[in-house]
């Protein structure tokens, strides 16, 4: 069973058949901005074994966007594809950089940390 809490994020296939990065955040508009609310009720994924974990609160699930085959979101600035670079220039570590506009994350000692930084949005 999965316990959900604020700032959790995960990848889920939505109705469009594409894999999206979903994140739990606080939002004053409540259910109105939640991706699981269809205007009438909630269509929760099967991972929500106990139903909505935050009924009547400001915690909602939002869609951060579609991820690529490497589980990386597209560039937040230009929408370009991001790539992981190992030992970029003289840095002894990992960075994730946009192939189009070249913006990227700081340098991290592990690939996981660099990916985490690249997929952080809110």
List of residues contacting Zn ion (CB under 5 A):
75, 77-78, 80, 98, 100-101
**Closer residue to Zn ion, CB minimum distance, 21 or 31:** 21
Q: How far is the CB of 100 from Zn ion (least distance, A)?
A: 5
Contacts of 122 (CB under 8 A, 6+ apart): 23, 25, 62, 64
Residue 68 half-sphere exposure, CB side, CA atoms within 13 Å? 15
**Closer residue to Zn ion, CB minimum distance, 31 or 82:** 82
**Closer residue to Zn ion, CB minimum distance, 52 or 96:** 96
């Amino acid at each position: 069973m999965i316990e959900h809490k604020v700032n959790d994020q995960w990848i889920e296939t939505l109705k469009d058949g594409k894999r999206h990065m979903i994140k739990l955040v606080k939002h004053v508009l409540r259910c109105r901005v939640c991706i699981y609310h269809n205007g009438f009720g909630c269509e929760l994924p099967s991972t929500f074994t106990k139903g909505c974990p935050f009924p009547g609160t400001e915690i909602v699930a939002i869609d951060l966007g579609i991820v690529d085959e490497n589980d990386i979101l597209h560039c937040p600035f230009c929408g370009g594809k991001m790539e992981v670079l190992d030992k970029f220039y003289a840095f002894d570590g990992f960075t994730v950089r946009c192939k189009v506009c070249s913006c990227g994350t700081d340098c991290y000692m592990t690939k996981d940390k660099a990916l985490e930084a690249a997929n952080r949005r809110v």
